[in-house]
């Protein structure tokens, strides 16, 4: 009889441990799913969209920056200058900026606004994701 009782205790203990393991597995699965949903919601690890390389050539004048700074303030969320250089034997100054468009602003709006400025020669907007000219 003692063996049977010991065997029953062993079976109950094993069953209890299986139940604990099952509950632990369910809890861990739920916890991992919650973490994955949060990471997906904040777009963790996703390349940020909307960052472009903007290059344009403009005829050098005394008011170089002021002519396009107004367009930048109106259409861009952020911008940082990468380089300025002269091109075509000094006839034009080429500016390069890393820019991020404001919400609701299309790349075509930026290109057409800059192209409309006096003295603007060539406007190129490169997408960081596709590395193709827009």
CATH code, domain carrying 102? 3.30.70.260
Number of domains in the chain: 2
Does 40 share its domain with 60? no
- Average confidence (pLDDT) per 10 residues, the chain, 134 residues: 69 74 88 92 72 87 72 89 86 88 86 87 79 47
Does 39 share its domain with 67? no
**Pair of tokens at residue 79:** 């911008």
For 66-75, which contacts have Cβ atoms below 8 Å and span 24 or more sequence positions? Answer: 67/117, 67/118, 67/119, 68/95, 68/114, 68/117, 68/120, 71/110, 71/113, 71/114, 71/117, 72/99, 74/113, 75/101, 75/102, 75/105, 75/109, 75/110, 75/113
Per-residue confidence (pLDDT) for residue 5, from 0 to 100: 72
Is 132 part of a structural domain of the chain?
no
What's this model's pTM, rounded to 2 decimal places? 0.57
Per-residue confidence (pLDDT) for residue 128, from 0 to 100: 63
């Amino acid at each position: 009889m003692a063996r049977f009782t010991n065997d029953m205790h062993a079976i109950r203990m094993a069953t209890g441990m299986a139940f604990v393991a099952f509950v632990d597995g369910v809890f861990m699965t739920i916890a991992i799913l919650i973490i994955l949903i949060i990471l997906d919601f904040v777009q963790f690890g996703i390349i940020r969209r909307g960052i472009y390389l903007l290059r344009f050539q403009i005829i050098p004048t005394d008011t170089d920056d002021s002519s396009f700074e107004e367009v930048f303030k109106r259409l861009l969320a952020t911008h940082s200058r990468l380089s300025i250089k002269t091109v075509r034997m000094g006839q034009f100054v080429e500016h390069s900026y890393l820019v991020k468009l404001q919400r609701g602003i299309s790349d075509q709006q930026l290109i057409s606004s800059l192209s409309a400025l006096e003295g603007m020669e060539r406007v190129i907007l490169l997408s960081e994701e596709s590395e193709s000219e827009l």
